[in-house]
Amino acid sequence: MSRFSSLQVVPRQLLRTSVHLRAAAGAAGLQGTRRISATRSYATESTQRPSETAQQPKFDNRVKIVEVGPRDGLQNEKKSISLATKIELIERLAKTGLQTIEAGAFVSPKWVPQMANSSEILQHLLKTPPPSPVPLTFSFLAPNTKGLDSAFSILQQHPKSFETETARSGKSSQEGGKPALEIAVFAAATESFSQKNLNCSIDTSLQRFKDVIQNAKAANLRVRAYISVVLGCPFEGYDVDPHRVATIATDLLEMGADEISLGDTTGMGTAPRTKELLSCLSSAGIRNEDLAMHFHDTYGQALVNTAVALEHGIRTFDSSVGGLGGCPYSPGATGNVATENVVYFMESLGMDTGVDLDRVADIGDWITREIGKANDSVVGKAVLGARTRERPEDVNAKAQT
């Protein structure tokens, strides 16, 4: 049971428990938007009325957390991390109620040596799927056709060990079962960052991704596309054009991407600029349900920006256990927002993540100790600290003896 189970969530009052956040964010609205070339619409508040009598709008309090720790969180660590530790991290996370875990990347080991054993990770997950209370999706980054071919070669060896997108669709949340696989690509919102990170222009990167996306979709795999530095670039500053982000997102969706994750890679995002970006995407006809937000907490604004996105109607958020992560091409940027912080924040607002906060806090403590990093989750440390303090009833019992 949630530690906030007594809270009542009321539409349009979602963030009134955090007045200072609302003041910074403004009334972004909870309206949904349409996906490119789609006729159906997503609405956070249902406007359908089963009868002539006015009905209370139906509020969607479900939030999906995408755990990026095993890939984005670990990829830039200088100290070599063993295959066993990476697999154990994924297996522990699988037991928490998380639905999607970013597990590895099929990239050049020369540039990202920490991801060199992603093939072994995928093979292990297919041969020995970790137990999970919900159907699991494992996401693997494959930024080019070479990376995708590497992933395909493993999938072909285990054709009956994973769910396709069609097979997974419509299934209820049952314990166990085969995992689903997702392929991810990543673009940049500025030319400078694209050149530094991908060694090519934005347009060239999109042309490369087109083949990756179409081949993955032909194999009936879900595709996620990241767009980096959407709220600030380490080379071009704060003024990232939201219309350019909307254009890139539109191109990726039209190629066949199922979801766009908008990355505040530098942590430079603010509440007003987050609102402006999301409003621009809405105006471009991009639905809320096709978007995810990926915040970094460099300036302590990740949860503020999360609040803005939540009120806008976004229901998918990336995070990393223990706040692990960073970006080698973004000088000064610190880790991803911690999963523990996001789960606690969502629960405090009455949102349902389905994630076991206590388990995640334990994992954050374990993995940061294991790799010799500081635990950057204030919530995780608070949860662990609360366990070490004596309960009042224990103190009273001792006093009576």
Q: What is the DSSP string of 166-201?
A: HHHTT----SS-PPEEEEEEEEESSHHHHHHHHSS-
C-alpha closest to that of 330 among 204, 192, 219, 142: 192
Residue 398: φ, ψ to 5°? -65, -35
The boundaries of the domain holding residue 176 are: 19-38+56-400
Token readout for 243 is 């219309």
Q: Is residue 130 part of a domain?
A: yes
| 238 touches 168 (CB < 8 A) | no
User: Strand runs (DSSP E) across 120-179, as ranges?
Assistant: 137-141
pLDDT of amino acid 328: 59
Alpha carbon 83 to chain centroid distance? 23
The residues that bridge with 41 in the sheet, in sequence order, are: 34
Domain count, the chain: 1
Q: Is residue 370 part of a domain?
A: yes
User: CATH number for the domain including 72?
Assistant: 3.20.20.70
Burial of 62 (0-12, 13-18, 19+ CB in 10 A): exposed
Residues recorded for the chain? 401
Token readout for 305 is 């920006």
Q: Is residue 375 part of a domain?
A: yes
Q: Is residue 368 part of a domain?
A: yes
- Element at 149 (helix H, strand E): helix 145-157
Rounded Cα gap, residues 77 and 153, in angstroms: 27
The active-site residue, picked from 200, 233, 280, 327, is 327
| 310 touches 9 (CB < 8 A) | no
Could you identify the residue written with the tokens 């990376």? 147
pLDDT of amino acid 335: 82
Rounded Cα gap, residues 297 and 280, in angstroms: 23
Rounded Cα gap, residues 386 and 376, in angstroms: 17
Q: Is residue 226 part of a domain?
A: yes
Q: Is residue 292 part of a domain?
A: yes
Rounded Cα gap, residues 300 and 302, in angstroms: 6
Q: Is residue 396 part of a domain?
A: yes
Residue type, 22: R
- Residue 316 has a CB neighbour count (10 Å cut-off) of 21
The angle that helices 83-94 and 357-371 make with each other, rounded to 10 degrees, is 170
- Residue 197 has a CB neighbour count (10 Å cut-off) of 22
Q: What is the pLDDT along the chain (401 residues), one digit of tens a residue?
A: 456 543 434 344 444 434 344 333 333 333 344 344 332 332 344 334 333 334 444 568 999 999 999 999 999 898 999 999 999 999 999 999 999 999 999 999 998 999 999 999 999 999 999 999 999 999 999 999 999 999 999 999 999 999 987 666 655 445 557 999 999 999 999 999 999 989 999 999 999 999 999 999 999 999 999 999 999 999 999 999 999 999 999 999 999 999 999 999 999 999 999 999 999 999 999 999 999 999 999 999 999 999 999 999 999 999 999 999 876 555 655 689 999 999 999 999 999 999 999 999 999 999 999 999 999 999 999 999 999 875 656 545 544 54
Q: Is residue 7 part of a domain?
A: no
pLDDT of amino acid 389: 79
Global pTM value: 0.84
Mark out the alpha helices in 256-326 (DSSP H runs).
271-283, 302-312
C-alpha closest to that of 2 among 275, 350, 390: 350
The residues that bridge with 262 in the sheet, in sequence order, are: 227, 293
Residues 6+ apart with CB under 8 A from 324: 69, 73, 74, 335, 336, 367, 368, 373, 376
Report how far apart, in Å, the C-alpha atoms of 172 and of each of 61, 167, 259, 260 are.
18, 12, 21, 24
Report how far apart, in Å, the C-alpha atoms of 337 and of each of 30, 160, 365 are.
23, 35, 15
Cα dihedral across residues 203, 204, 209, 212: positive or negative: positive
Rounded Cα gap, residues 232 and 139, in angstroms: 25
Rounded Cα gap, residues 291 and 130, in angstroms: 28
The angle that helices 202-218 and 191-198 make with each other, rounded to 10 degrees, is 60
The answer to whether 233 is a known catalytic residue is: no
Residue 184: φ, ψ to 5°? -125, 145
| 71 touches 121 (CB < 8 A) | no
